[in-house]
Structure 1
């Protein structure tokens, strides 16, 4: 139920349909619907659906005074439109000026004749998709086009919305414009508002559609569904994006793959279960990143290569058999994979690239690196300044098993030597002195462990 439905004050039957008095139209008992006044809604568009926008086009393309349209939008946004009464051929509401003066505003729209309704109903039952869309509170473009082909204009055209207001204006004033903007919101939620304006309430229209369908028994044997051309035409009409989902407290748990019988040839249930668990963890990680403020301004990272993804999976602490398969598949071997996992945990693909790549620093980046090194120890004693031996993007401290590696993004990564192999010793830092301190602390911790 929409917020508008909750505000209606007309009589309805047990199925929630209008209790129309006269199925042929006219202002019979029960054909009026009243919608409660809406609260102020500043900054919100008045029409999201194509038929709601068509309604406003009929208003805005006809009104002679643009200032009155602007005033009407302002009154509608300010919540100055009272309860809206919708009945065949007329919509009515009391609209308050900014000085609280109340005016009765009416907008008239020509009702369809009985002959036009018969043509529309005969056309609609020819297409099951038209009726299905109406029941979903939608108005497919082909329904309107097919109705026009049958000589029935459902949506108002230029000049069809006739204003009446007790303020004395002869054209659309701010009060009738405000009423039309408010009705656009109602139409967005329920296109049956338009049909009521044209002379048929919801229940009367649906009953008439059933009656016409009953006179064409051959139509009932047609398969259910929506015409392909109609579905294609409606493809560009998409609803707004839903709200972002909340971040789960923990990754989902994949189902158990244990079975009574043996697995198919070539299938390792433990490896498959591990892969499903890591996929769930990665999905939660990506969602957490997407929900962070400013995520839309961050550059899109390329997908990891198969070798990089093997390291990501190994970082999930797989069973020994799975780890051995990853070590072999990645070409790193068991020890090499363990070092790569340490790098991945320090900074993902960026840290892994620093581990694997040795690249020549161009002149501009080299000048910035030297300036950063000079600044890092500018205020210390001369004896505290480390002496580096440089090769490519790697600065190794002379006489100590510690090293700084420059990443392509300008950050410094600490490394230390362990059993003859350079291994990551911490996360990246903008300051080379901070990175070197991390490497030395890691080296000290390793020696005292």
Structure 2
């Protein structure tokens, strides 16, 4: 059915129905029980079955033009055998206010009634609520401008048949015929349902909740001692085995993160402090990358470095250099890599004579750093008092941590394994 035009809340105009290609003259005309109840009222009140047959044929052939429905009236023009269509109307008695009150009470009694109406359904139980919603034999009063005095004429019968199709699509058309529009009815049902719900809530006894009196809860009484704490496990637990899935996270990286988290939790449980809790995001990223076992930048390691470096906002190459510093001396080694400082007189000043005494050339000083004249070896003094050795391609100023930190600057260089003639 085409969308109706609403001239107002109490006036709806429906476009003409197209001819029915599958019309069956001997079967039910309407598609719903309430539509066929309307047809039954028409047919049982008719005085001439032949006019009904011709009227049904007119309806099937699409002879009924646009239909206008108002309270108590259905109006349309029906094309017959003459060029000029006939004006046809069918009147139905509207309901009294008392009838509407009973109808609204019945509809509000069961939420399913309202839901059915909104779904364009008319429940049997709502139609049988004691209010004459559906017409009976003789309740339809047709009138036509044609000269036929039959009751009904074929034009009026055609309009009644097409009206049944309107009722099929929307039972609110039937309610409009009985006197009230859809919006008015839905508003009234909404108010009535809300009032009933509020009344039921007021009448419902408050639920008594279990509890204890405040005076009893606050009364002085001896409480049992707390149970002793659980003993600290001897070692962190092992993480589960993570499966490898296409497109999923690296199971080795997951295992590393889980193992690290377990170790930190174990230390926190045993000592009350997180050993790495005060690290910055960058320092923690370096620590995690340095904890990756093995050496060399494999594909998995490059992926891990790229992920950690991206999270810290640094390039992967910078992370790789920082990992070397962390493996050389932990947080102190990373600080030596990234933060030059001005050491006080003493250990730094004594380093150059010690290097000269070991037959090494005079290293160039700058802040906490001593650089070989060739520019390929460098010593850096950390705030922890240790000397950290660095190497670079001569003249490149591309310094990488090497060897093991030592209190003796000569010892730090000796650990590099560089031939003496290269020093």
TM-score, length basis structure 1: 0.42
Q: Kindly name which structure, 1 or 2, has the bigger radius of gyration based on alpha carbons.
A: 2
TM-score, length basis structure 2: 0.45
